[in-house]
Amino acid sequence: MLSFGHSAIVAAYVVVALGLLLLCLFSRWSWQAKVGMVGLVTAAYLAVYFSVPALLGWPTDRAVPKRFGLLAVYIQEPDKQTGAAGDVFFWATDLDPDADQRPRAYRLPFSPEMKAVMQEGQGKLRQNIPQIGEAEPDDEVHGVPSDRQQLGQKSVKIKLRDMPPAGPPSKEAGG
């Protein structure tokens, strides 16, 4: 598959905007049609702008699955010099049989409790002990957010445990 990156998307919109400018300046279309074309190109730009991060594999702020298989963890601690709040990134697969089974990256706000849970799970993953996570909403109030980007952000409690060993093969499997 061919990948052009961000610069190709920007270049494509520059070309479309120039074409639209030429149409608006030199066509005999009514002003309503010209305004409609400008609105259409603006809507297309916004649709691409908001959908590209998901296509690039950036971590999602969506709700964490209730049960998931933990694959990897990366912890970014708060930085007092820059004022960055810190995040906990992790990759997981949803264990719901009806859900998409492909791995997904998640991002949660940093907290010392979340760091401890995830570091323990990461240590067990390094020992080749698969981990199952269970997420439940955290209804406790943790004070006022230090960053405006955290307003409205839901917090979750995550518990990790060792994945139970696979059972013996069934007799129907032929063995």
Highest mean pLDDT of the ranges 29-33, 143-147, 166-170? 29-33
Span 95-135, pLDDT tens digits: 998 988 889 999 999 999 999 999 999 999 999 999 999 99
Q: What is the dihedral of CA 49, 110, 88, 76, to 10 degrees?
A: 90
Q: How many CA atoms lie within 13 A of 67 on its CB side?
A: 9
Identity (one letter) of the amino acid at 4?
A: F
Domain ranges of the chain: 6-55, 67-162
- pTM of the predicted protein model: 0.63
Q: Give the integer Cα–Cα distance in Å for 110 and 33.
A: 49
Q: Is pLDDT of 6 > 90?
A: no
